[in-house]
Amino acid sequence: MNNIIENTSSLLALVTGRWDGVHILAEKLRKGNCQVIATDKLPTSGKFDYIFLFGSVEDAYQAFLKLLKENSRMLLITGHRDEDLSKLENLDNIKIVKVRDLSDWNQEELSEILLKIIFTPSVKKIFTLKSKNGSSSKKPDKIRRITEYPVSAITTRKIRGYLPVLLSLFVFAVLIGASTFVWYFYSVKNIFTDLKNNLTVGNMEEVRLNLASAEDKIKIAKGLFNTTSVVFFPLKNSTSLLNLGQMIDSTDRMLTVVHGSINLIDEIKAGNQNYPLVNFNFSKSNFNSLVETVSALDFAAGDLQEKIVSTQLPYFPKENLLPMIVEARQNLASVKETVPVLETVFSSPSPKTYLLLFQNNMELRATGGFIGSVGLLTITSGLIEDFRIMDVYSLDGQLKGHVEPPLPIRLYLNQPNWFLRDSNFDPDFAKASIQAEWFIRKILNKEIDGVIGINLFFVQDLLAAVGPVTLADFGNEVITADNLFVKSQLHIQSGFFEGSSTKKDFLTALSQSLQTKVSAEKTSIFKLAQVVKKSLDEKNILIYLNDGTGQNKIEHLGWGGRIFSVNCLSREENCLADYLYLVDSNLGVNKANFFIKKSANIRKKINKEGQIETELEISMENQGSSAYLQGGVYTDYLRIIVPRGSRLVSANLSGREIEKSSIESSDYQTDKTSFGMLLKIPELKLSRLFLTFLQMNPVKNNIREYQFYMQKQPGDKSYSFNLAVESAKINFQPKNFSSVTKEGINIASDTSVDRIFTFNVSP
């Protein structure tokens, strides 16, 4: 059953009426991830995705009108065999099962049959289940006696005389049937190719034309199929005919749902197209409609995918259609994951004010980049009531009193005071957010409900999705995904002085232009959802909410920028967790990290004492210079965060030992140790950092699983790394990845997202 019912916790099923097996049917639905309500009588209110009704036609009609959600499914199980069903025959999404006596049936078996009927797409609407206790009619005996009566020779001769005519009709039917196959194959292939291409680029006008054409073709295919089905009645249960009918039905259902989805997207865009960012509406009803529509789309796409995989139709172009359906479902998954998070942030009925940190990752800091500007976003019930961008230096100038900074800021930035612009020093975004909120309260006397961190990689991906924007207030400057970093730096730094509005004006113009582009006709909502999800996964957007429930949702998805706890995620009790997080902070007051090309090698060894020894090599090539875009010497305050109790054995940079006295060691959180050191990478030079760590506690003999976490830093460019694991005493077997070499364990990966490597361990 888990393969039939959609894996969506929000699906709600109603089982109503009198049958002793209701509890079995309800339990099967729950195993399929449905919430189930079971009642003896029809409830007076509520909306349900699935309804199983044991009762009359009138009950079913009332349930359809009042209780069934749009595009949902209903099954009437009735024992009134002579009841007039005409009231239901023209209603979509209702199937009827006639059962003379429910008590004759095994409850488990009947539950399975009912579930198969409601979840298996079929043109057929009425099903009659025969008694399980034998035949209740003598008709089969009569039929047998009639067929045993000898056929006369005269009748035989007559039939032979009609054989040429019958054969001609059969050949004609075969030709029509073949044309149905060819027509359908051609139509469905072109339908999904055109839809995919136009949805990808957001060309909604072409999508509408594609849909209209597709619906016409499917109607013709249905007509041809129904015509041939009459002639091929004796073969109605053949695999090919059943497959073809199911495929046409599934395609038709998919097109219907897509049509409804396009209408919803048009409605949402039309309501916001002419508005500036202030007054843009993310209403709860929009979110709810979008969630329902995406669920319906995913169900329809999954149904069609299942039919394509299982079909045995000859010459059917599976290899062309399956990748398109799989890609479509991946896009839908992006929307399904993203929308609830956006709803959590935007749709609160009470006013919420969020602090936006514009983190310039050309000047990398712990949670994504230097905070050059901030924004205040006020939202009520999805409506943006106010949005202001402010220069951080202007705000810092209003801070009264002395705030003691973290020691590295005092030592390496020569900054005796702590300001909002450096508030994201802690690599845990929740802690950095709380610190930023504290500064805003001190400066503006304003309470904040949450913090959203954004870096330039998100803006770059957004531009790649929607296309270039033109900034009228900046000499009609065209900003693209390719020139964003360069143009941003030129406009922000050109003529900049503390208190100037250049940065604020540039970011305001860019955000307004992007909003206009996003709400435009040719912007694909699926592309936007992919961009947002990608940025959340890659930590180019970070979210912190003061509301604990909302924050738990964010953290559950890994979108809160939190530091991992050094704990195993598996259920294996005898599991050992290991951890590494490299946190770079550019303290050189330049953009040198933007020009750094980096890679890493990590080697894990179990020594004779059973301790884990980690050898870490980090290569950093500085490809920039001070003559271009504020490059220059890369002054990097590097923090290496490892499991608590680890000891730094050795450290050297390009062959020169780093003095232990210059390395700051401290406990971080409850389960980690942090080692901090200042590195300077000259212009146009390659430097290599070599570090060795030792975890003092030996690996226990009963350990059966080992998990190594490599955490990604927000805002940092993705770089490649290799992980090698060696041990003479313990056998490590990769569990969720493959080694790139046959001898030993060697894994090639990158830091585009957080990585977790799991190994089975045996003596």
Maximum average pLDDT range among 283-292, 351-360, 380-389: 351-360
pLDDT in tens, 302-317: 766 676 666 555 555 5
The predicted model gives 497-519 an average pLDDT of 76
Residue 743's identity, in one-letter code, is: E
Domain edges within the chain? 12-146, 155-346, 352-556, 575-762
pLDDT of 595 higher than 50: yes
Confidence band for 364, pLDDT divided at 50, 70 and 90 = very high
CA dist 592 and 596 (Å) reads 7
CB 238: neighbour CB atoms within 10 A?
11
711 burial via Cβ count (<10 Å: 0-12, 13-18, 19+):
buried
Q: What is the pLDDT of residue 431?
A: 98
- Whether residue 405 is predicted with pLDDT greater than 80 in this model: the reply is yes
d(CA 467, CA 481): 8
Q: Of 45-54, 271-280, 459-468, 712-721, which range is least confident?
A: 271-280
If one compares 656 and 127, the residue with the highest pLDDT of the two is 656
User: Exposed/middle/buried for 208, CB within 10 Å: 0-12, 13-18, 19+?
Assistant: middle
Contacts 24+ apart (CB under 8 A), 739-748: 746/722, 747/722, 747/723, 748/720, 748/721, 748/722
Return the pLDDT at 284: 64
Higher pLDDT, 158 or 94: 94
What confidence category does residue 146 fall into, taking pLDDT thresholds of 50, 70 and 90? very low
Determine how many CB atoms are found less than 10 A away from the CB of residue 103: 11
The region of weakest confidence among 54-63, 96-105, 247-256, 736-745 is 247-256
pLDDT at 215: 65
Q: How far apart are CA 639 and CA 364, in angstroms?
A: 13
Q: Which residue has the higher pLDDT, 679 or 504?
A: 679
Res 754: pLDDT: 94
Q: What pLDDT, on a 0 to 100 scale, did the predictor assign at position 39?
A: 85
pLDDT-derived band of residue 168, with 50, 70 and 90 as boundaries?
low
H or E stretch covering 376? strand 370-380
More confident residue, 491 or 184: 491
| β-pair partners for 16 | 39, 53
Distance, in Å, from the CA atom of 749 to the CA atom of 722, rounded to the nearest integer, reads 6
Mean pLDDT of 273-292: 57
pLDDT value, residue 154:
41
| HEC string for 150-198 | CCCHHHHHHHHHHHHHHHHHHHHHHHHHHHHHHHHHHHHHHHHHHHHHH
Terminal Cα distance for the chain, rounded: 40
CATH number of 12-146: 3.40.50
pLDDT > 90: percent of the chain: 38
pLDDT of residue 103: 84
Burial class (CB in 10 A: 0-12, 13-18, 19+), 228: buried
Burial of 210 (0-12, 13-18, 19+ CB in 10 A): buried
pLDDT digits (tens, 9 = 90+) for 617-666: 999 999 998 878 888 999 999 999 999 999 999 999 999 999 989 999 99
pLDDT digits 0-9 by tens, 527-540? 787 888 899 999 99
The SS3 call for residue 743 is coil
What is the rounded average pLDDT of the residues 474-496? 81
CA nearest to 689, candidates 655, 734, 727, 723: 655
Higher pLDDT, residue 88 or 433: 433
Residue with tokens 């490597």: 757
| Higher-scoring residue by pLDDT: 470, 249 | 470
> Which residue has better confidence, 722 or 297?
722
For 319, residues 6+ apart whose C-beta sits below 8 A from its C-beta are none
- 579 burial (CB, 10 Å; 0-12 / 13-18 / 19+) is buried
Report the helix count and the strand count for the chain, using DSSP H and E.
18, 27
Residue pair 544/551 in contact by the 8 Å Cβ criterion: yes
Please give the Cα distance from 679 to 688 (Å, whole number): 11
- What is the pTM assigned to this prediction? 0.68
Among the listed ranges 210-224, 372-386, 468-482, 673-687, which one has the minimum average pLDDT value? 210-224
Q: Which listed CATH number (1.10.10, 3.40.630, 2.40.50, 2.40.160) goes with 352-556? A: 3.40.630
pLDDT at 553 exceeding the cut of 80: yes
State whether the Cα torsion 59-61-63-66 is positive or negative: negative
Of the listed ranges 432-446, 471-485, 707-721, the least confidently predicted one is 471-485
For residue 673, what pLDDT band results from cuts at 50, 70 and 90? very high
Q: Given its phi and psi angles, is residue 675 left (phi above 0), alpha (psi -120 to 50 degrees) or beta?
A: beta
Two structure tokens written together for 13: 């099923």
DSSP 8-state symbol, 497: -
The DSSP secondary structure of 535-554, one letter per residue, reads HHHTTSEEEEESSHHHHHHH
Residue type, 512: Q
Strands 575-586, 705-711: parallel, antiparallel or unpaired by DSSP? parallel
Lowest average pLDDT, out of 25-34, 232-241, 353-362, 532-541, goes to 232-241
CB-based contacts of 596, cutoff 8 Å, min separation 6: 620, 621, 622, 623, 624, 634, 681, 717
pLDDT of residue 236: 47
Residue 175 has pLDDT above 50, yes or no: yes
CA distance 744 to 603: 12
**CA dist 586 → 494, 593, 634 (Å):** 21, 7, 7
**DSSP state letters, 410-449:** HHHS--SS--GGGGGGSSSHHHHHHHHHHHHHHHH----S
pLDDT category, 273, cuts 50, 70, 90?
Answer: very low
What's the whole-number average pLDDT of the chain? 80
| Radius of gyration, alpha carbons of the chain | 33
Tell me which fold the domain 575-762 belongs to: Immunoglobulin-like (2.60.40)
**Mind listing the pLDDT tens digit for each residue in 93-117?**
899 999 888 888 888 889 888 988 8
% of the chain beyond a pLDDT of 70: 70
DSSP-derived pairing of the beta strands 596-606 and 352-360: unpaired
